[in-house]
């Protein structure tokens, strides 16, 4: 059901992922563009360190991906500029950055989103993971909270909330 894809495999189905992306975000963001996702966003992110993408089913009903983020990258620097210096020092840099989670509208409310997020963070070597999502009450933030993500900043100033997950806390007790 779940497949884990590396850079080459993900780029091999970039067009299909772009369609899922555009369908998933259409209601919230009519400008979500399948071609831009497949030809610009995904190739840029797939080249980043430790890129990992998970899909659900063939044809793809949903996917999620991320990579290791560092200061100097656009997202890391934007978040660092919006949070306290202590939080930035603690969380940003070497974190696993969750970039997208998307499930086709026709496949929702069956646990696919939760399964994708669980598979995405499973076995990651990073100490911590970060993501931004909607600050208001919606399926995505509810899903992250249900899976143990902690709310770090309720509103970063542009309607997004910052969530973090301690990855090493989930392993075998005593093994860090
Ligand atoms: C957010 C998103 C990925 C969730 O995907 P999903 O596959 O529907 O997620 P799940 O099925 O795991 O959970 C969704 C809901 O279904 C419920 N659910 C899960 N399995 C269920 C089942 N078998 N029967 C009934 N309900 C179920 C969950 O409890 C959850 O309910 P809630 O929203 O009231 O908390 C999807 O809505 C989406 O693609 N949204 C647009 C893009 C987006 O917002 N991405 C995240 C940006 S940060």
Residues 6+ apart with CB under 8 A from 108: 139
Tell the residue nearest (CA) to atom 33 of ligand 1. Answer: 139
**pLDDT, tens digit (0-9, with 9 covering 90-100), for 85-123:** 999 999 999 999 999 999 999 999 999 999 999 999 999
DSSP 65-127: EEEEE-TTSHHHHHHHTTS-HHHHHHHSSSEEEEEEEEE-GGG-SSSHHHHHHHHHHTT--SS
Query: pTM here?
Result: 0.96
Q: Which atom of ligand 1 is nearest to the CA of 142?
A: 35
Percent of the chain with pLDDT over 70: 95
| Residue 6 CA to ligand 1 centre (angstroms) | 25
Residue ranges of domains in the chain: 2-170
Q: Give the DSSP H/E element, type plus range, for residue 58.
A: none
* Range 2-170 has CATH code 3.40.630.30: yes
CA distance linking residue 133 with residue 32, whole number of Å: 16
Residues lining ligand 1, CB < 6 A? Answer: 24-25, 101-103, 108-114, 133, 139-140, 142-143
CA distance linking residue 176 with residue 174, whole number of Å: 6
């Amino acid at each position: 059901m779940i497949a884990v894809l590396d850079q080459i495999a993900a780029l091999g189905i970039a067009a299909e992922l772009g369609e899922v992306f555009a369908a998933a975000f259409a209601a919230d963001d009519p400008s979500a563009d399948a071609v831009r996702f497949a030809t610009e966003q995904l190739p840029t992110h797939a080249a980043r360190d430790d890129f990992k993408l998970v899909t659900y089913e063939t044809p793809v009903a949903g996917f999620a991906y991320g990579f290791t983020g560092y200061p100097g990258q656009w997202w890391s620097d934007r978040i660092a500029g919006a949070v306290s210096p202590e939080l930035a020092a603690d969380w940003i840099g070497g974190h696993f950055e969750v970039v997208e989670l998307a499930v086709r509208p026709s496949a929702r409310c069956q646990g696919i989103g939760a399964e994708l997020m669980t598979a995405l963070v499973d076995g990651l070597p990073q100490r911590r993971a970060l993501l931004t999502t909607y600050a208001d009450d919606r399926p995505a933030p509810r899903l992250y909270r249900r899976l143990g993500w902690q709310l770090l900043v309720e509103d970063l100033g542009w309607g997004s909330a910052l969530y973090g997950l301690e990855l090493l806390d989930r392993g075998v007790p005593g093994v860090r």
